[in-house]
Amino acid sequence: MADVLVKETTNPYEIVKGQIRHACEALELPEIAYELLKAPKRFLEVQIPVRMDDGTVRLFTGYRSQHNDALGPTKGGIRFHPAVHPDEVRALSMWMTLKCSLLGLPLGGGKGGVVCNPKEMSERELEELSRGYIRAIAPIVGPEKDVPAPDVYTNPQIMAWMMDEYSRLEGRNVFGLITGKPVEVGGSLGRSEATGRGCVVTVARAAERIGLDLTRATVAVQGFGNAGSVAARLIAERGARVVAVSDSKGGIHAPGGLDVDAVLRHKRESGTVLGFPGAREIGNEELLTLDVDILIPAALENQLTAENAPRVRARIVGEAANGPTTPEADAILRRNGVLVIPDVLANAGGVTVSYFEWVQNLYNFYWTEGEVNQRLEEMMGRAFDRVYAMHRERGVSMREAADMVAVQRVYDAMKARGWLH
Ligand code: NAD
């Protein structure tokens, strides 16, 4: 079992291919559907020369994967990380196809990456790398072709540099090239809260479906960063009692409920949630198996495993993080009647507001934060309903249902476009 786990968790390309094959088979699609979906339509490798601060020139390797654009231009983040690998970039672009399709967006799946360690680079070197990368992939990106966004170790500033460089090449402003930009240069209001907000919408729907009154529910949130802290704050606003949160240093537990805003202030001042007055300190492992109604993993992948899943007591798991549950843990949770809202659904708020940003850029007409949030809630709610209906009708897990809904929509588009004969 351990070998299987290691193999499954370290080979994302194999995992996503398996998911797509499984969905194609469950939907009884012709073999050509899987053949078209099992690899990216286009994959580009580039070399980027950067003059370093010490005067030497260093070559960096970058990738851009465009998996499937049957539904519209491809979309997906750019990762700057030493461990970026072409198969990982391929796999991430395939998950983006599923996520965009599931949410009903007119977008396909893409992803990019550069092998580098931004923590060891100066701001000037990082800017030169960002500009060099977008110049290298410029022939295949653009608002109507492929629209990148931030991912691990890339941020709004990097998006602004890339948009600026591409605009220079084109000789005009092209804000719609890329999303996740600062608000001053075409970024959308509401983007930074979107993932946590979307997650809470899906958790609230799930609670409704299983007859759990949110105002009486208790919640534990693992990870108190962008996704987790917003999810904790917004679920508390809906009346739930957040009894435990954690960060990389450990967790805190207060059965009577935590004042999430006060915990946020405490973390901002001290750098950690630990030491929050009136709360007991717990380990991250203990947090996952607390006696709560709702568990929101919002930190890292592979947190719920075959080892701890049997002890999970929550009735709903909302996967704000990407890949927090191993396949074995997933099967155990399902057997134990836990409703798992899969990552492609629960954390799709980010890409949904990225889509809104692109739309606003194309129209040059900007929405209020209230409009963004309202549209986000509508789209997340509809996506949840589609997945839940498939889950009930076909007797499959929410994760299988999400993959099936997503693959079916891409298949229908490919069929309508005449790609299957
Ligand atoms: P972040 O860096 O803002 O926050 C991560 C948090 O996890 C931090 O509080 C960190 O201290 C904590 N953490 C790290 N190791 C931990 C551990 N072992 N146990 C408990 N906590 C730990 O990152 P984020 O943007 O909030 O992303 C969190 C997850 O959500 C990731 O899986 C990411 O892929 C996913 N996600 C985020 C977005 C988004 O828009 N931010 C969108 C989709 C998915």
Summarize pLDDT for 213-242 with one digit per residue, the tens. 999 999 999 999 999 999 999 999 999 999
Give residue-wise pLDDT tens across range 11-49: 789 889 999 999 999 999 999 999 999 999 999 999 999
Give backbone dihedrals phi and psi of 213, rounded to 5 degrees, phi first. -80, 115
pLDDT of residue 85: 96
β-bridge mates for residue 50, sequence order: 58
- Average pLDDT on 357-384 reads 98
Confidence of residue 397 (pLDDT cuts 50, 70, 90): very high
Ligand 1 pocket test: which of 195, 245, 267, 376 has the largest number of ligand atoms within 8 Å of its C-beta? 195
pLDDT digits 0-9 by tens, 99-114: 999 999 999 999 999 9
* Residue-level pLDDT at 2: 40
pLDDT of 5 higher than 80: no
Q: What letter represents residue 250's amino acid? A: G
Residue nearest (by alpha carbon) to ligand 1 atom 1: 225
Please report which confidence band the pLDDT of residue 301 belongs to, taking 50, 70 and 90 as the band edges: confident
Domains of the chain, start order: 39-176 (3.40.50.10860), 194-337 (3.40.50.720)
- 96 ligand 1 Cβ < 6 A: no
CA distances from 317 to 160, 166, 203, 219, 222 (A): 35, 41, 8, 10, 11
In tens, the pLDDT along 184-193 reads: 999 999 999 9
- Residue tagged 């739930």 (tokens): 240
pLDDT at 421: 85
What are the distances in angstroms from CA 194 to CA 30, 231, 341, 395?
A: 36, 9, 17, 30
How many angstroms is it from 321 CA to the middle of ligand 1?
6
393, containing H or E segment = helix 369-394
pTM of the model: 0.94
Chain segment 119-150, per-residue pLDDT in tens: 999 999 999 999 999 999 999 999 999 999 99
Report d(CA 178, CA 163) in Å as an integer. 6
> Cα 26–31–34 angle (5° rounding)?
75
Residue 15's pLDDT is: 85
**CA pair distance 122, 142, nearest whole angstrom:** 28
- Would you tell me how many other CB atoms lie within 10 Å of the CB of residue 3? 7
Mean pLDDT of 155-173: 98
